[in-house]
Amino acid sequence: MQAAPKLFSIYHVKEDGAMKPDATLQVEITVPPEFEADVVRDLKRRGGSVIRTESVRVIKGTVPSDGLEDYGAELRSMTAGHGTYRAYAPQVSR
């Protein structure tokens, strides 16, 4: 069974216990189909890339952590209040 990803954090702990800012976060954005193209364009404008869309409604990709500042409010504005997202640090394989 796979562990659930951690929720958004702009810092992660290195093995030596020090904190360092993440350069890139994974995002999962859920939007109504009519807003998908706008959200994908906005994700790319923020320096992100789309890894895949699981359906017409779920967009997965990566975005630099500083590109997500105020993203929740902007996503709600772009999608008439219907879009949601979650961001998390990439899982590291050991």
Higher pLDDT, 36 or 3: 36
* CA–CA separation, 75 and 81 (whole Å): 8
Q: Where are the domains of the chain?
A: 29-88
| Average pLDDT, rounded, for the chain | 77
CA distances to 2, 18, 24, 26, 79 from 91, in Å: 11, 18, 12, 9, 29
Percent of the chain with pLDDT over 90: 21
Cβ distance 26 to 89 under 8 Å?
yes
CA 3 to chain centroid, in Å, comes to 18
Q: Tens of pLDDT along 5-15?
A: 333 344 444 55
CATH: 3.40.50.300, 3.40.50.1820, 3.30.70.240, 3.40.50.2020. Which one for 29-88? Answer: 3.30.70.240
In tens, the pLDDT along 38-73 reads 999 999 998 898 887 776 678 999 998 888 888 999
Q: Phi and psi of 61, rounded to 5°? A: -170, -165
Q: Backbone phi, then psi, for 54, in 5-degree steps?
A: -75, -25
